[in-house]
Chains A and B, each alone.
Chain A
Amino acid sequence: KQEVTQIPAALSVPEGENLVLNCSFTDSAIYNLQWFRQDPGKGLTSLLLIQSSQREQTSGRLNASLDKSSGRSTLYIAASQPGDSATYLCAVPGSTGNQFYFGTGTSLTVIP
């Protein structure tokens, strides 16, 4: 069974700082890895999807990397803003591809 771990569980940074969120998974045979953002009590918003053949994916101030062999992904947020405050979750599909395994998320607070 795939297990997904996210470190740190919580992070507080001053506005403008660059930061890195970490995600690790136990089974490297994945189709892709997806990063989501979740605001309190809300649904999940997809940020980036990295296919297994890719090493990086970028969207605006966000950059996600994937190292399948080591079972790791990072989400880099440049020039953080208070509006970035949310919980960030990573997810990978299981071996059958029909279910996604999520980490418990990193709760990010950006202080103005």
Chain B
Amino acid sequence: ETGVTQSPTHLIKTRGQQVTLRCSSQSGHNTVSWYQQALGQGPQFIFQYYREEENGRGNFPPRFSGLQFPNYSSELNVNALELDDSALYLCASSLFMTGEGTQYFGPGTRLLVL
């Protein structure tokens, strides 16, 4: 059973650019959630995808968007990058949509916006 993987591991962008982060969920998991973790803070929920549909969104602007593919892998896209977008982006997969199951996290993508 493969775990959650994320790519790339590190990324440096400049203000105004766009970025795409990728996540492969654990085998058999149909739900993927994305979180942003600023330094010294707990992860903040961005959005969740269940069977290719967005299923809930946190307090993030529309320039944060996502996709989930038929194989349940997922992308997080961020447009018009701002300095405050610098953070660790975490992807989590689970079996259940309703929060009843264990969430399994990937190693994260460290994004630095200059």
Contacts and interface: CB of A to CB of B under 8 A. Distances in A.
Interface string B78-92: 000000000010101
A65 interface: no
Nearest to A90: B42
A46 B100 contact: no
Query: For the side of the interface on A, what is the size category?
Result: 20 to 34
B19 interface: no
A41 B110 contact: yes
A93 B110 CA distance: 25
A46 B102 contact: yes
Interface in B82-114: 88, 90, 92, 97-108, 110
B42 A46 contact: no
B33 A97 contact: no
Contacts of B28: none
A74 B98 CA distance: 24
10 contacts: A32-B100, A41-B108, A42-B107, A43-B6, A44-B105, A98-B33, A99-B48, A100-B43, A100-B45, A104-B40
Interface of B: 4, 6, 33, 35, 40-45, 48, 50, 55-56, 58, 88, 90, 92, 97-108, 110
Interface of A: 4, 31-32, 34, 36, 41-46, 49, 51, 89, 91, 93-94, 96-105
Given A41-B110, A91-B42, A102-B35, 10 more contacts: A31-B99, A42-B107, A43-B4, A43-B90, A49-B101, A93-B99, A94-B99, A96-B56, A98-B33, A98-B50
